[in-house]
Chain A
Amino acid sequence: MKIGFFVPNLLSWSGDQIVIGGLERYAWALIELMKDIGWEVEVHQNANYDWQQEVNGVTILGHGVARFSLEASVEQVNSLCDRVLYGSILQKPMYYKENSIVISHGVWWDGKEVSSEQRAKIVKNCGDALKQTSLMISCDYNFLNVMRTVFPDLTDKIRVIPNFVDTEEFKPAPKKKSKQTLKILYPRRLDYCRGTDLFIQLANNLLGKENKVEFLMAIDHNRPQYNQELEPFLRQDRVKGFNLQFEEMQNIYRQADIVVIPSRYSEGTSFSCLEAMASGNAIIATDVGGLTNLIINGYNGILVPPRVKAIETAVNFLIHDSQSRQRLGKNARKTAMAFTLDRWRKQWAGYLKAVYLSGDG
Chain B
Amino acid sequence: MVSKIKEVIKIKKKIGILTSNFFDPAGQRLIYGGAERYGIELTKLLLDLGYEVEWWQVGSGWIRDLMNNVKIKSIPVTESPYETMPTLNQAFLERAVDIDYAIYFVTFLAYPQVKEKSISISHGIYWDYPSFDNLIDGDNGRQEWLRRLKIALSGPDRVISVDTSTIEWVRATWPGLSHKFEYIPNFVDLAKFNPEGRKPILEQKPIRVIFPRRITTVRGINEVVRTAEIMTKEVKNLEFHIVGRGHHDQVEKELMKWASEHERIYYYWQPPEMMPEIYREMDIALIPTKAAEGTSLSCLEAMASGCVVISSYVGGLSDLVFNDYNGLLIKPTTQNLVQAIYSLLEDTDRAKRLSKNGVEVARAFSLDCWRESWKTVLQEVFN
State whether the Cβ of A22 lies closer than 8 Å to any Cβ in chain B: no
Beyond contacts A110-B178, A111-B175, A334-B357: 11 other A-B pairs, Cβ-Cβ < 8 A, are A110-B172, A142-B165, A144-B313, A145-B168, A265-B175, A292-B318, A294-B322, A296-B361, A297-B364, A305-B182, A331-B360
- Quick one: CB contact mask for A265-294 with B, threshold 8 Å, 1 for yes? 100000000000000000000011100111
| Nearest-CB residue, chain A, relative to B168 | A142
| Nearest-CB residue, chain A, relative to B369 | A298
Smallest CB–CB gap between A314 and chain B, Å? 12
State whether the Cβ of A149 lies closer than 8 Å to any Cβ in chain B: yes
Contacts of B325 in A (CB 8 A): 335, 337-338
Q: Is the CB–CB distance between B291 and A152 below 8 Å?
A: yes
Query: Interface size class for chain B?
Result: 35 or more
Contacts of A107 in B (CB 8 A): 168, 171-172
Smallest CB–CB gap between A333 and chain B, Å? 12
Which B residues between 15 and 66 are near A, CB-CB below 8 angstroms?
Answer: none
Contacts of B319 in A (CB 8 A): 292, 296
29 chain-A/chain-B pairs, Cβ below 8 angstroms: A107-B168, A110-B171, A110-B175, A111-B175, A114-B175, A119-B173, A145-B125, A145-B128, A145-B165, A145-B169, A145-B315, A145-B318, A148-B125, A149-B128, A152-B130, A156-B331, A265-B175, A287-B167, A288-B171, A289-B168, A296-B320, A296-B322, A296-B361, A297-B364, A299-B363, A305-B182, A338-B324, A338-B325, A343-B324
Q: Is the CB–CB distance between B172 and A305 below 8 Å?
A: no
| Nearest-CB residue, chain A, relative to B131 | A152
| Nearest-CB residue, chain B, relative to A298 | B364
Q: Is the CB–CB distance between B179 and A307 below 8 Å?
A: yes
State whether the Cβ of A357 lies closer than 8 Å to any Cβ in chain B: no
Which B residues between 218 and 256 are near A, CB-CB below 8 angstroms?
Answer: none
Smallest CB–CB gap between A202 and chain B, Å? 17
Q: Is the CB–CB distance between A338 and B323 below 8 Å?
A: yes
| Nearest-CB residue, chain B, relative to A265 | B171
State whether the Cβ of A136 lies closer than 8 Å to any Cβ in chain B: no
Q: Is the CB–CB distance between A110 and B183 below 8 Å?
A: no
Q: Is the CB–CB distance between B313 and A141 below 8 Å?
A: yes
Smallest CB–CB gap between A339 and chain B, Å? 8
Which residue of A142, A152, A160, A337 has the most chain B CB atoms within 10 A of its CB atom?
A: A142
Smallest CB–CB gap between B226 and chain A, Å? 17
State whether the Cβ of B164 lies closer than 8 Å to any Cβ in chain A: yes
Contacts of B313 in A (CB 8 A): 141, 144, 160
State whether the Cβ of A112 lies closer than 8 Å to any Cβ in chain B: yes
Q: Is the CB–CB distance between B172 and A146 below 8 Å?
A: yes
State whether the Cβ of A351 lies closer than 8 Å to any Cβ in chain B: no
A228 to B172, CA, bound (A): 32
A153 to B128, CA, bound (A): 10
State whether the Cβ of B271 lies closer than 8 Å to any Cβ in chain A: no
Q: Total A-B pairs in contact (CB under 8 Å)?
A: 105
Which B residues between 158 and 180 are near A, CB-CB below 8 angstroms?
Answer: 164-165, 167-169, 171-173, 175-176, 178-179
State whether the Cβ of B211 lies closer than 8 Å to any Cβ in chain A: no
Smallest CB–CB gap between B150 and chain A, Å? 11
Q: Is the CB–CB distance between B324 and A149 below 8 Å?
A: no
State whether the Cβ of B155 lies closer than 8 Å to any Cβ in chain A: no
Q: Quick one: given A112-B175, A119-B173, A296-B319, are A146 and B168 in contact (CB under 8 Å)?
A: yes
A209 to B161, CA, bound (A): 32
| Nearest-CB residue, chain A, relative to B183 | A287
State whether the Cβ of B268 lies closer than 8 Å to any Cβ in chain A: no
State whether the Cβ of A348 lies closer than 8 Å to any Cβ in chain B: no
A142 to B178, CA, bound (A): 15
Which B residues between 274 and 313 are near A, CB-CB below 8 angstroms?
Answer: 291, 313
A107 to B127, CA, bound (A): 19
State whether the Cβ of B314 lies closer than 8 Å to any Cβ in chain A: yes
State whether the Cβ of A74 lies closer than 8 Å to any Cβ in chain B: no
Q: Is the CB–CB distance between B175 and A297 below 8 Å?
A: no
A152 to B164, CA, bound (A): 19
A287 to B322, CA, bound (A): 16
State whether the Cβ of A77 lies closer than 8 Å to any Cβ in chain B: no
State whether the Cβ of B86 lies closer than 8 Å to any Cβ in chain A: no
Closest 6 CB pairs of A and B: A338-B325, A141-B318, A299-B364, A110-B171, A292-B164, A298-B364
Contacts of A141 in B (CB 8 A): 165, 313, 318, 329
A53 to B323, CA, bound (A): 39
- Quick one: CB contact mask for A326-346 with B, threshold 8 Å, 1 for yes? 000001001101100001000
Contacts of B172 in A (CB 8 A): 107, 109-110, 119, 123, 146
When the two chains form the complex, which single residue of A111, A114, A142, A335 contacts B322, counting CB atoms closer than 8 Å?
A335
Smallest CB–CB gap between A125 and chain B, Å? 14
Q: Is the CB–CB distance between A110 and B128 below 8 Å?
A: no
State whether the Cβ of A303 lies closer than 8 Å to any Cβ in chain B: yes
Q: Is the CB–CB distance between A145 and B314 below 8 Å?
A: yes
Q: Is the CB–CB distance between B291 and A148 below 8 Å?
A: yes
Q: Is the CB–CB distance between A305 and B314 below 8 Å?
A: no
State whether the Cβ of B185 lies closer than 8 Å to any Cβ in chain A: yes
State whether the Cβ of B181 lies closer than 8 Å to any Cβ in chain A: yes
- Quick one: CB contact mask for A138-161 with B, threshold 8 Å, 1 for yes? 000110111011001100100110
Which A residues between 288 and 321 are near B, CB-CB below 8 angstroms?
Answer: 288-289, 292-294, 296-299, 303, 305, 307
A149 to B165, CA, bound (A): 11
Contacts of A145 in B (CB 8 A): 125, 128, 165, 168-169, 314-315, 318
State whether the Cβ of B129 lies closer than 8 Å to any Cβ in chain A: yes
| Nearest-CB residue, chain B, relative to A155 | B128
A159 to B312, CA, bound (A): 12
A159 to B169, CA, bound (A): 18
Smallest CB–CB gap between A357 and chain B, Å? 20
A294 to B363, CA, bound (A): 17
Smallest CB–CB gap between A79 and chain B, Å? 33
Contacts of A296 in B (CB 8 A): 319-320, 322, 361, 364
Smallest CB–CB gap between A287 and chain B, Å? 5
| Nearest-CB residue, chain B, relative to A267 | B168
Q: Quick one: given A160-B313, A298-B364, are A152 and B324 in contact (CB under 8 Å)?
A: no
| Nearest-CB residue, chain B, relative to A338 | B325
